[in-house]
Amino acid sequence: MGVLFIGKNSGLDWTIVRPGSFTDEPAQGAYKQGFSGAEKQLTLKIPRADVAGFMVKQLNDDSYLHQTPGLSY
């Protein structure tokens, strides 16, 4: 299995989602997104279902187009 790397200047649309550690809990829905690296009040854990929900939303939302938002609680 290979890794596909798309450069930031490729001309393609992209969003790189950076979740905390995955959990198997049900989706909670009230996660933090797009926080800075200096954010101190995070658990750094997030249910897989919330990450999947965020990614599906990005298909029709360009709020994080060409960005690398973090996801956590």
Query: Residues 19-32: pLDDT tens digits?
Result: 989 999 999 988 99
CA 69 to chain centre: 5
- Cβ neighbours of 47 (radius 10 Å): 19
CB 61 within 8 A of CB 42: no
Specify the pLDDT at position 5.
Answer: 65
Residue 68: is its pLDDT beyond 70? yes
Query: Residues 14-65: pLDDT tens digits?
Result: 899 999 899 999 999 889 999 877 878 888 899 999 999 999 999 999 999 9
CB 65 within 8 A of CB 6: no
Q: Are strands 21-23 and 45-47 parallel, antiparallel or unpaired?
A: parallel
